[in-house]
Amino acid sequence: MTSSLTIPAIGFGTFDRRDNAGIDAITYALELGYRHLDTAQSYETEGECGEALRRSGLERADVFLTTKISAANSVAGKLVQSLEQSAENLGVDAIDLTLIHWPVTPAGRLDMPGYLTELAEAQARGLTRLIGVSNFTIADLEEAKTILGPGVLANHQFERHPYLQNQKLVNYCLQNGIAVTCYLPLARGRCAGDPVIEQIAARHAVTPHQIALAYSLNQGLIVIPTSSKHERIKENFEAASIVLTPDDLAAIAALDRAERQINPAWGPTWDQQPA
Residue 163 designated active-site: no
- Sign (positive or negative) of CA dihedral 25, 30, 34, 40: positive
- Kindly give, in sequence order, each residue whose CB lies less than 8 Å from that of residue 64, ignoring residues fewer than 6 positions away: 5, 6, 7, 8, 11, 35, 36, 37, 96, 97
- Angle CA 138–1–72, to nearest 5: 55
**Cα distance between residue 67 and residue 43, in whole Å:** 9
Cα-Cα-Cα-Cα torsion 160, 16, 87, 153, nearest 10 degrees, comes to: 10
Check 43, 172, 183, 215 and give the catalytic one: 43
Alpha helix segments (H runs only) across the chain: 19-32, 46-56, 79-90, 112-124, 138-148, 167-175, 195-204, 208-217, 230-238, 246-253
Amino acid at 260: R
Beta bridge partners of 97: 66, 130
**Cα distance between residue 67 and residue 39, in whole Å:** 5
Minimal CA–CA distance to 13: which of 162, 159, 226? 226
Beta bridge partners of 183: 159
**Are 90 and 127 in contact, with CB atoms under 8 Å apart?**
no
For the beta sheet containing 155-159, the strands, ordered from the edge strand earlier in sequence to the opposite edge, are 12-13, 36-38, 64-69, 95-100, 128-134, 155-159, 179-183, 222-223
Active-site residue list? 43
